[in-house]
Structure 1
Amino acid sequence: MLARMVHEGMRAGDGDREKVAEQLKQALDQGRLDLGEYDERVQRAYSAKTYGDLEGLLADLPGTVPVEKAQVEPHRSAKGPEPQHRGRSGLTGILGVFLVCVVIWAMSSLGSGEWHYFWPGWVLIPVVWALVAHFRDRGNRGH
């Protein structure tokens, strides 16, 4: 209890006031506050001197409860972070970009009646790098 009273009396900084003002803006955008309420609360936020002055501005808005007062703990996965998938999805994306470039090149060449410089070949450079990385890392999967 004493720690909370001390915290409420601590001076708030510009960053603290900005954070509260941003949360109030989100509440306005979501329709939780009307323009008059928003204006009044933002004025109070920017004139707040202590954390106690800021605290009451968000008390009736959902999703703005400070972490130390929250009753729900965030979900923690027992497995750890999800593995990042590499390989086919990245290679497929790069090949897709290459094919789109080839189609654009072919349409512009056919439209002009002559074959132009094959500039989509430059797009193959990342494809080659991706293939080299794919086959180089292939032996390391599962270690």
Structure 2
Amino acid sequence: MNERQEIEAVRASDTERERIAKQISEATAEGRLSITEADERLERVYAATFRHELAEFVADLPQRQAPARPLERFPTRLRLHAAIAVVVSVLLIARWVAMDVPFFWPAGPMLLLWGSFLVHTRAVRFGGVR
């Protein structure tokens, strides 16, 4: 082994083998691989010992992008701002219930909280603020 292969010589896990096998199966279902070729690749995938050996089995197949989680499209600052606004709103409402006041006084502070969130969202979306 040369120096590069020694660095990459990390044993492959069953999970990694299954991920590669799934990519091969999906490529076969799409018609990119014949059944015979897929069987040959799958045999070699399950016989592979090291991670770097697995990459060659899917190198000629298009790589799939992992689907983005819905919240990841929002910057962390916006998610944090929304979380704080939710927590403070819940606390304000709980305080209002405990006070037994006839009018809904948390509306003012909540309007400021959610208004600031809306302004922040617009600034991030249109102003490029991160």
User: TM-score scaled by structure 1?
Assistant: 0.45
Q: Which has the larger radius of gyration?
A: 1
Greater helix fraction, Structure 1 or Structure 2: 2
Higher relative contact order (CA 8 A, sep 6+): 2
